[in-house]
Amino acid sequence: MTAIRLANEFNLKLVIDGAAESYLLINEIKASKAEVILHPTKARGWGDMKNMSWETAAKLTEAGIAVAIQSGYESYVPKTRVILYEAAIAVANGLSFEDGLKSITINAANIIGQENRIGSIKKGKDADIVIFDGDPFEYLTHICTVITNGEITYQGCN
């Protein structure tokens, strides 16, 4: 609430990072026009995250609040390897499949002001794309192709 008051007082764009209990302040966050980078679902629910909920991404999105999902919570965990899992947990707990993808692509790009370069597939944007053999949120899905800077850098599925 202090961050919202300061953003309002000084006319600042507000991005709330972490936001484990943000579902408790949906109306206030929406009124502030803040965007949210949501804590990872794998975080431990204690301390300032005692009241976290796996449904937070769905609740915020349903209220019209832009949400991106963080990809890791502990320094020893390689963060990029768990981003699909983090989004999948949100999808399994009420976030739509499409919004789950947006939470780790275009929403994240919008929040950091890089939507003209990354976050979606469009001519002129950075061409880093991963192609899967199934649902990217399914544990048994495989990465078939990785395209980096417009060049195929990995080819795995037959």
Average pLDDT over residues 93-121: 95
Domain total in the chain: 2
User: Could you tell me if 14 and 87 lie in one domain?
Assistant: yes
**pLDDT tens column, 57-76:** 999 999 999 999 987 656 65
pLDDT band at 146 (very low <50, low <70, confident <90, very high): very high
Q: Which domain holds residue 136?
A: 127-158
Grouping H, G, I as helix, E, B as strand and the rest as coil, residue 147 is strand
For residue 89, the domain's CATH number is: 3.20.20.140
Interacting residues of 18 by C-beta distance below 8 A, sequence separation 6+ = 37, 38, 39, 48, 49
Q: How far apart are CA 152 and CA 158, in angstroms?
A: 15
> Is the separation of the CB atoms in 103 and 136 below 8 Å?
no
User: Could you tell me if 81 and 47 lie in one domain?
Assistant: yes
User: Could you tell me if 66 and 114 lie in one domain?
Assistant: yes
User: Could you tell me if 105 and 136 lie in one domain?
Assistant: no
Identify the weakest region by mean pLDDT among 38-42, 96-100, 145-149: 38-42
Where are the strands (E) in the chain, listed by range? 15-18, 35-38, 67-69, 129-132, 143-148, 151-155
